[in-house]
Amino acid sequence: MKIQPTTVDDSVTHALQTAHQRFASNHHGKNASYIPYLASVPANLFGISIMFCDGTHAEVGDTDYAFAIESISKVFTLAHVLDDIGPQSLRSKIGCDPTGEPFNSVVALELHKGRPLNPFVNAGAMATVSLLKAQTAKERWEKIHATYNAFAGHELAVNEEVYTSEASSNQHNRGIAWLLQSYGYMHADPMQVCDVYTRQCSVAITCRDLVTMGVTLANGGVNPMTQQRVVEAKNVAPILAEMTLNGLYDTTGDWYYKVGLPGKSGVGGGILAVVPGVCAIAAFAPPLDVAGNSVRGQLAAEHLSRTLNLSLLD
């Protein structure tokens, strides 16, 4: 186990260590297997990071392991698109309500005449990608990539193995993209959008990257490590609203009940929680619960929220 020396309070490093020790031996959940690459990631990896708005941070465990960002990418594409079109337009074209169904549900889409309801289910995420102002696939991808890089404070790589694995097994998402098109909620070429979406999900990040991306939201849209503004201040609250309502798919309520913070998970095993004005927590552990959320990641976030009194509801 590795703890980086930092200037954070001892109680913070102690809480991280305790969370890691307590949950490292929890073997509940299973790696995602519908994307072949993800099934092969070692299931025992476990990292936890915390970063405060002044840039101080602490971490424990496998925080240098680069994993696939997957659905957490949806947060940062949303940030870019909010800066492009504004929150009102985003809310009228997509929304901020839970579907009550799994993240890749076609039923949810049919029930609402193609309206995706929120940008964190796959349908809404692809609709978000389609709203980004770009003429070509290359331009669309480069804008997304530049935004992620600014959030992380350095250039992030695409894991081409993840991309190839996902691109050859994403027929369900392609179906969703065409369905969105048929209902008028797809605002660019559906297959181009699906491909760019697949690429954004394949970006490789470490816990350290994720916590930096998250603390940039906690810090009102300014990356505390680079001091660069990466999203307009007025667009941070809409992002946190989406994370609060929809960040962990159809079990977002359970998460909020226990953690009391805006969050976002990905099927790569990453999970992010944001404490506005204070800090962000990032965790990584590949085995997922049935909704697709990291089991140990959720436990770690809950432990830190309780121990450090971070819940917005207390």
CB of 202 to ligand GLN, least distance (A): 8
Query: Which CB, 52 or 163, lies closer to ligand GLN?
Result: 163
* Binding site feature residues for substrate: 71, 122, 166, 173, 197, 249, 267
Question: How many Å separate Cα 293 from the centre of its chain?
Answer: 11
Report the residue closest to ligand GLN, judged by CB.
71
* Binding site feature residues: 71, 122, 166, 173, 197, 249, 267
For tokens 């009940």, the residue is 257
CB of 72 to ligand GLN, least distance (A): 7
CB of 31 to ligand GLN, least distance (A): 12
CB of 228 to ligand GLN, least distance (A): 27
Query: Which CB, 72 or 211, lies closer to ligand GLN?
Result: 72
Query: Which CB, 248 or 261, lies closer to ligand GLN?
Result: 248
Query: Which CB, 246 or 305, lies closer to ligand GLN?
Result: 246
Per CB under 6 A, residues contacting ligand GLN are 70-71, 103-104, 122, 166, 173, 201, 266-267, 292
Query: Which CB, 60 or 179, lies closer to ligand GLN?
Result: 179
CB of 34 to ligand GLN, least distance (A): 7
